[in-house]
Amino acid sequence: MRRAVVAGMLVAVICSAFAAWGAAGKTAAKKPQAGKLRHVVLLKFKEGTAPKQIKAIEDAFAALPSKIPTIVDFEWGTNISEEGLTDGFTHCFLVTFKDVKGRKVYLPHAAHKGFVKLLLPHLDKVLVMDYTAKK
């Protein structure tokens, strides 16, 4: 049951992200491209994690696209859902790769490993889901 709630939450987050793309208008919004590999990361921080530490983690994750060339798109945000189904997850990061090969470069990359090292002491829970975009 708990996994179903978390899975439902993840679907809601992803749908919200795609809805935001569409709602942002036809100016800066990017349309999802079929075939791209999406790497969704949801974070729940340990209680007592200082805002300064969370900001450093946000900045470090946001810096990865400039360090890892196989990242073709990146976005993130904090939870604003009114449904109360977040299970304590506060942050959602969406990393896009051209294909599975891009993710294979990303996961063992020194910059990614450095980010994970920064994150782990403050991490209560993480949920990662990868999928190939479909239209």
The CATH number for 80's domain is: 3.30.70.100
pLDDT of residue 71: 98
What pLDDT score was predicted for residue 32?
Answer: 57
What dihedral angle (degrees, nearest 10) is formed by the CA atoms of 26, 19, 61, 10? -170
Q: Which pTM does this prediction carry?
A: 0.76
* Cα–Cα distance, 64 to 95 (Å, whole number): 10
Q: What is the pLDDT of residue 57?
A: 98
Residue 119: give the domain boundaries.
Answer: 2-132
Stretches where the chain sits below pLDDT 70 are 1-33
Q: Tens digit of pLDDT for each residue in 23-45? A: 444 445 556 567 899 999 999 99
Q: What percent of the chain has pLDDT over 70?
A: 76
Query: What angle (nearest 5°) sits at the alpha carbon of residue 16, between those of residues 36 and 65?
Result: 45
Q: How many domains does the chain have?
A: 1
